[in-house]
Structure 1
Amino acid sequence: MNKQLSKKQRINYFLINLISFASIFLILGLIVFRLVQTSIYQTVDHDLKRLSQDQKFLSHQLLQVERTQGDPSQLGKFDTPPPNNFQQQVILWSKEGDILNEAELGSRFYDFQKLTLSTDDLNKITSVQIKDSNNRSLQFRSITLSATNSEKVAYVQLLVNIDPIKGTVEQFKQILIICMIIFGLLSIALSYFLSKWFMKPILISWKKQQEFVENASHELRTPLTIIQAKLEKLFTKPNHTIIEESETIALSLDEVQRLSQLTSDLLLLARSDSNSLTLEKEPVKINVFLKTVLIPYQELATAEAKEFIIDLGEEQQLLFDKKRIHQLLIILLDNALKYTAPGEKITVFSTVKNNEWLLKISDTGIGIAEEKKSAVFERFYRGEESRNRKTGGYGIGLAIAKWIVDEHQGKIDLLDTDPKGTTVRLRFPVK
């Protein structure tokens, strides 16, 4: 992936993350603000509703006005004084829109001089804003009711001053905005970090893909070059018989077989990367299965003057993909035979214990250096280039083996064999 494309992709990730975080914080902030605002005003609205349904309180207000309309000296002589305070006000209106309880309002009457009667939202709580005598803005929550039991009073308006509440809401709003700005800056930093973090696996995957293509091209080129050279050689000797060129033809066929095997392995790795391969598990008797795979290799080892020991535990029936485990064993046994000299020993050990199938393939061959053990499962890795060329390896067998083990939720380890050689230890969970 070139730098320009990588930078463009990273900017896209950054913008996507930034927009996502900003949207989440904005929506969350609006929700919190609306909830706080609603919960604060709910108490005021509840008090207004309660007063609007308190018939005793309303009747007292109407009665007091009727008794003091013609005789102001009667004000204050009633048993229950009006519960008005600066926060809570009661205004009684005539049909013409005049305030009738001017005496009860006292000096506060001047604050309500500019207030006009509105009958559009009767029995509904609304917000009212007025200017007092000092031209200050006052905020109220209000409800207007029809006065049916009074000849003089047509409407009763209950008001609750919400200036302190509004101040609290505004203060909370400022704090929320500051928090949103801080979280906005944090979201920018987090988006930048996440854009780098998201790009890491993409760059690693791209690098692996590039290495895979380069290595595959290199490995395919070798047998193709050999085949091409052999076929061109045949054209230089058109009069030769098949028997005379049998060696050339045999070498070409051998390279074709290797090429076919290589392409199959490459296809398997590519399909494993795309998760398009699935295991076909079935119940299998492991000792019968292992003998089927191991006996031909035992005969081959004997023919090469190598000792091949098979040590199997009690017969057990396990669930696994027979085809893939067979492929796994062939890869490991091929490696054991390739790197074991005549007169040396190969041992295959199998047992089931502690809910685990333990399988070991040990040899007394050349072994693997400690610093190379972690790299042998990488694709196209070769510990020694010349030896792998000679034995026909491409460095992808153990990568396929690890994939098969991982798909069975197992573990594969490389251990040293005493006094020399390598032991491949496989552990599969028994379910």
Structure 2
Amino acid sequence: MNKQLSKKQRINYFVINLISFASIFLILGLIVFQLVQTSIYQSVDHDLKRLSEDEKFLQHQLIQGEQLQEMPVQPDKFNTPPPNNFQQQVILWSKEGKILNEAELGSRFYDFQNLKLSTENLHKISSVQTKDSNDRSLQFRSITLPVKNQQEVVYLQLLVNTDPIKGTVDQFKQILIICMIIFGLLSIALSYFLSKWFMKPILTSWKKQQEFVENASHELRTPLTIIQAKLEKLFTKPNHTILEESETIALSLEEVQRLSQLTSDLLLLARSDSDALTLEKEPVRINRFLNTVLLPYQELAAAEEKEFIIELGQEQQVFFDKKRIHQLLIILLDNALKYTNPDEKIIVCSSVKNNEWLIKIRDTGSGIPDEKKSAVFERFYRGEQSRNRKTGGYGIGLAIAKWIVDEHQGKIELTDNLPKGTIVLVRFPIK
């Protein structure tokens, strides 16, 4: 992946993450603010609703208003404390929109002298804003009720001052905005980090894909080059018989077989990456199955003057994919034979312990250095850096083996077989 494309993709991730975080914080902030504001005003509205439905309270206010109307209004009375609660006020209105209980309101009458009567939302709680004598804004929650059987009083308005509540809401709003700004800055930093973090697996995958293509091209090119050279050689000798060129034909066929095996392995790896392969598990008698796979290798080892020992535990029935486990054992046994010299030993053990099927393959061959044990399961990896074709491998067998074990939810481990050699331990859970 070139740098320009990588940078563009990273910017896209950054923008997407930033928009996502910003949207989440904005929606969350609006929801929290709305809930807090609603819950704060809810208690005020509840009190207003309760007072508006209290007939005794309303009747008392009307009677008190009528009594105060009959008394002469004296200027010094406005300096006395009003009988009403400071937060709760009652205003009696005439049909013309005049306040009738000035004496009851006392000095607070000047706070309502600019208030206008509104009869549009009777019996409904609403917000009211007015200005006092000092031109300061006052906030109220109000409900207006019609009055029956009264000569002068036509409407009764209940008001509750909400200036302290509004101050609290405004303060909370400021704190919420500051928090959203801080979290917004954090989201920018987090979006930048996540965009960089998201790009790592993509770049790693791209790098592995490039290495895979390069290695596959190298491995495919080698047998194709040999086949091409052998066929071109045949054209230089058109009069030769098949018997005379049997060695050239045999080498070409050998490379064709190797090429066919390589393409099959590459196709298997490609399908495994795309999850296009599924296991076909069935109940299998493991000792009978292992004997079928191991006995031919025992004969092959004897022909190469190598000791091949089979140690099988008690017969058990296990569910697994016979084809894939057979392929796994062939890969492991081929490697054991490949890196074991004549007069050396290979031991294959099978047992069932603690709900696990254990397969252990020990050899006394050349062994694997500790720093290379984790790398041998990578595709096209070879312990021999010269890529010596003498062993006949392409470095993808153990990658396939690892995939087969993983698909069976198992584990494969490599350890040293002292004094020399390698131990391959495969564990399969038994469900």
Alpha carbons of 1:195 and 1:363: their partners in 2 closer, same or farther (altered >3 Å)?
A: same
**CA deviation digits over 1:114-134, x for unaligned, max 9?**
111111000000000111111
After superposing the two structures, state which structure 1 stretch, 417-426 or 170-179, moved more: 417-426
Q: Report what 1:378 is aligned to.
A: 378
Shift of the alpha carbon at 1:82?
Answer: 8.5
Q: Report what 2:19 is aligned to.
A: 19
After superposing the two structures, state which structure 1 stretch, 65-74 or 40-49, moved more: 65-74
Q: Report what 2:125 is aligned to.
A: 125
Contact 1:346/1:362 (<8 A) preserved: yes
Shift of the alpha carbon at 1:189?
Answer: 0.7
Whole-angstrom distance in 2 between the partners of 1:414 and 1:131: 85
Alpha carbons of 1:153 and 1:266: their partners in 2 closer, same or farther (altered >3 Å)?
A: same
| Partner SS state of residue 427, structure 1 | strand
| Partner SS state of residue 69, structure 1 | helix
Q: Report what 2:147 is aligned to.
A: 147
Kindly report which structure 2 residues correspond to 1:17-416, keeping only aligned pairs within 5 A, or say none.
Answer: 17-72=17-72, 84-385=84-385, 388-416=388-416
Whole-angstrom distance in 1 between the partners of 2:73 and 2:293: 119
Whole-angstrom distance in 2 between the partners of 1:95 and 1:282: 93
| Partner SS state of residue 58, structure 2 | helix
Contact 1:388/1:394 (<8 A) preserved: no
AA in 2 matched with 1:328: L
Contact 1:140/1:160 (<8 A) preserved: yes
Contact 2:130/2:139 (<8 A) preserved: yes
Q: Report what 2:77 is aligned to.
A: none
After superposing the two structures, state which structure 1 stretch, 122-131 or 143-152, moved more: 143-152
Whole-angstrom distance in 2 between the partners of 1:360 and 1:71: 110
Whole-angstrom distance in 2 between the partners of 1:344 and 1:139: 97
Whole-angstrom distance in 2 between the partners of 1:113 and 1:82: 16
Shift of the alpha carbon at 1:301?
Answer: 1.1
Whole-angstrom distance in 1 between the partners of 2:36 and 2:387: 76
% of aligned pairs identical? 84
Contact 1:61/1:82 (<8 A) preserved: no
Q: Which runs of 5+ in 2 are unaligned?
A: 75-80
Shift of the alpha carbon at 1:387?
Answer: 7.1
AA in 2 matched with 1:223: P
**CA deviation digits over 1:75-127, x for unaligned, max 9?**
xxxxxx99612221110011111111111112211221111111100000000
AA in 2 matched with 1:100: L
Whole-angstrom distance in 1 between the partners of 2:254 and 2:314: 41
Alpha carbons of 1:55 and 1:272: their partners in 2 closer, same or farther (altered >3 Å)?
A: same
**CA deviation digits over 1:254-289, x for unaligned, max 9?**
000000000011111111111221111111100000
After superposing the two structures, state which structure 1 stretch, 59-68 or 156-165, moved more: 59-68
AA in 1 matched with 2:356: E
Alpha carbons of 1:385 and 1:86: their partners in 2 closer, same or farther (altered >3 Å)?
A: closer
Whole-angstrom distance in 2 between the partners of 1:375 and 1:20: 39
Q: Which runs of 5+ in 1 are unaligned?
A: 75-80
**CA deviation digits over 1:278-332, x for unaligned, max 9?**
1111111000000010111111111112111111011000011111100000001
Residue correspondences, number: 425
Alpha carbons of 1:62 and 1:374: their partners in 2 closer, same or farther (altered >3 Å)?
A: same
CA RMSD of superposed structures (Å): 1.5
Contact 1:10/1:196 (<8 A) preserved: yes
Whole-angstrom distance in 2 between the partners of 1:129 and 1:413: 78
| Partner SS state of residue 72, structure 1 | coil
Alpha carbons of 1:134 and 1:305: their partners in 2 closer, same or farther (altered >3 Å)?
A: same
| Partner SS state of residue 279, structure 2 | coil
Shift of the alpha carbon at 1:67?
Answer: 3.0
Alpha carbons of 1:387 and 1:202: their partners in 2 closer, same or farther (altered >3 Å)?
A: closer
Whole-angstrom distance in 2 between the partners of 1:169 and 1:419: 78
Shift of the alpha carbon at 1:65?
Answer: 2.3
| Partner SS state of residue 360, structure 1 | strand
Shift of the alpha carbon at 1:418?
Answer: 2.8
Q: Report what 2:78 is aligned to.
A: none
| Partner SS state of residue 92, structure 1 | strand
